[in-house]
């Protein structure tokens, strides 16, 4: 059985460092995995990365109970260990959602991420796994892999007004507003592109 480890908070230098590749899945690595699972269960989060418990190795654990998830496109995710994970986007579609983090208590931020990705990793047995994930699962995996690169979601927030506390997020239903604003921005961009194309065509014909 693993131990509950105190989670490192923003400002800890380890959270800004790129984690080492796991070369061998032995006793030490299995103990790290057990500690990650125990700490995640205790914290009530959706995912955790090894740097968050002070370990500079490329290991993350995710698990989601659908009834406790605040995102509309949540799906049930059993406890899943991802070792040396990496991802690539499938398509260019992106979505904006507020994200939180165990290492950044109370603060939430609007982050744009790819909607669908392909993720490749090793499980705890060393087997290579490849999956396609969409929606919240894809967002969660991107978020946790960022930790392995020394990046927190705070660095991904593009607008200075894209932050909120957890309480304000619920009080003013900011999750819904973030989606609406993103859709409006996309429509506005498409209109500008259409206008530029029309202008170019007119000039060329003239």
User: Is position 149 annotated as part of the catalytic site?
Assistant: no
Beta bridge partners of 110: 98
Q: How far apart are CA 106 and CA 168, in angstroms?
A: 10
Query: For the residues of 98-128, what is the DSSP string, one character each?
Result: EEEETTEEEEEEEEEEESEEEEEEE-TTS-E
Out of 106, 144, 158, 173, pick the active-site residue: 144
Judge whether 100 and 71 are in contact, CB under 8 Å.
Answer: no
Residue with tokens 């800890």: 12
Residue with tokens 């087997």: 127
Q: Which residues are catalytic?
A: 144
């Amino acid at each position: 059985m693993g131990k509950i480890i105190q989670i490192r908070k923003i400002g800890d230098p380890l959270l800004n460092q790129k984690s080492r590749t796991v070369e061998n899945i032995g006793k030490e690595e299995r103990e790290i995995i057990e500690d990650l699972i125990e700490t995640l269960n205790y914290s009530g989060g959706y995912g955790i990365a090894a740097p968050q418990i002070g370990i500079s190795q490329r290991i993350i654990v995710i698990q989601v109970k659908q009834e406790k998830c605040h995102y509309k496109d949540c799906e049930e995710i059993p406890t899943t260990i991802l070792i040396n994970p990496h991802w690539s986007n499938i398509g260019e579609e992106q979505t904006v959602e507020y994200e939180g983090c165990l290492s950044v208590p109370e603060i939430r931020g609007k982050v744009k991420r790819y909607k669908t990705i392909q993720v490749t990793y090793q499980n705890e047995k060393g087997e290579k796994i490849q999956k396609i994930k969409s929606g919240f699962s894809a967002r969660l995996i991107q978020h946790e892999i960022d930790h392995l690169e020394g990046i927190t979601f705070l660095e991904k927030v593009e607008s200075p007004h894209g932050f909120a506390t957890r309480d304000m997020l619920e009080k003013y239903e900011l999750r819904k507003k973030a989606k609406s604003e993103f859709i409006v921005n996309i429509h506005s961009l498409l209109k500008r592109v259409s206008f530029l194309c029309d202008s170019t065509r007119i000039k060329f014909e003239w």
